[in-house]
Amino acid sequence: MVNIFGSEENVEIFDDTELVTEDNKRILIPVFMQLDIPTSWDKTKVFEAIDEFRLTGTPDMNIRIKAISIDDLNMYAEIAKQVLCNVHELRSEINKLMSTMLSEADIDTKEHAELCVNLNVPDRSENEPNKEEAQDQASVKTNIPVCVTLRQQLNIKKSSNKNPTILSCIKIGNTLVFTDCSNKRLIFCNSDSTDIHHIPLSYRPDYITEININTVAVSCVGKSTILIINISKGSVTSTINTSGYCSGISYNDNNLYVVIDWSIIHVMDLAGKVIRTIPLPSGLIFDFTVDRDSKSNIDKD
């Protein structure tokens, strides 16, 4: 039995009778989702199932998971406005998400259990910028020159029974290295996407960085673990356990820079000793890079 509940204030934000226009169908509303599961369920498996849903999401989905915490299974998501305006559509979409989670997490659906999903829609009016702030933001955006040209498209061939979910990629010499988190492996290919081979891993790889031409470091978010991998030998040479969930990872000047709990960066040596901590300018940071001038380029989803 799935029970979807929320505060009265949140329920009143959207009226079931509100006219859903074509413009409204393209509007996504930020929502915090709290998942309350039975204590007998494997929280790690539930986390991995929902995180897999996040990674494999498509732009046309009505619920898009942006981030999830393994500690309390709190999620930051975006939900299509027309779904939030219709309680029946909302329940249907939540049930689809929960059905996928139950299947992927190997939950016995024949046993009676109550699963609760609490939705919390933030008050956006308090966060709306005033006119001057909006002008400042617009001027900043327009002053950043951006030009992107697609030079080449790679098609990573799929085997008959393994569909890869690629989250991160680096280039080492003429070789491209991808993390395939669905199949717990690294994928290697050359610049024309031929000569494909793999390195199987015990944990699901998420983000990757180059240490040298023969070595990479891979973060495994769900296991709070960093794997140091010799790619020429195809073996894990060492394992680093982190103090929190490690996502984005970069290497510079003999140090690893690792995003911990999506909120801080730990600078550590290759043995895992934390040298210093760098606070991030905002929450929900997933990936970043450190260039040769030690300036951080942060990617916020």
Residue 159: predicted pLDDT:
56
Q: Which of 242, 237, 271, 240 is nearest to 259 (CA)?
A: 242
Please state the pTM of the whole predicted model: 0.57
Percent of the chain's residues with pLDDT above 70 = 75
- Domain boundaries for CATH 2.130.10.10 within the chain: 166-291
* Residue 116's pLDDT band (cuts 50, 70, 90): confident
What is the dotted CATH code of the domain comprising 166-291?
2.130.10.10
Q: Is the pLDDT reported for residue 96 higher than 90?
A: no
Q: Is the pLDDT reported for residue 153 higher than 70?
A: yes
- Domain boundaries for CATH 3.30.70 within the chain: 2-123
Higher pLDDT: 26 or 117? It is 117
What is the dotted CATH code of the domain comprising 2-123?
3.30.70
Residue 250: predicted pLDDT:
95
Residue 267: predicted pLDDT:
95
Instruction: Give the least confident one: 126-135, 178-187, 206-215, 276-285.
Output: 126-135
Residue 77: predicted pLDDT:
85
**Contact criterion met (CB below 8 Å) for 206 and 186:** no
Kindly provide the b/e burial profile for residues 218-257, where b requires at least 16 CB atoms within 10 angstroms of the residue's own CB.
bbbbbbbbbbbbbbeeeeeeeebebebbbbbbbbbeebbb
Q: Which helix (H) or strand (E) holds 168?
A: strand 166-172
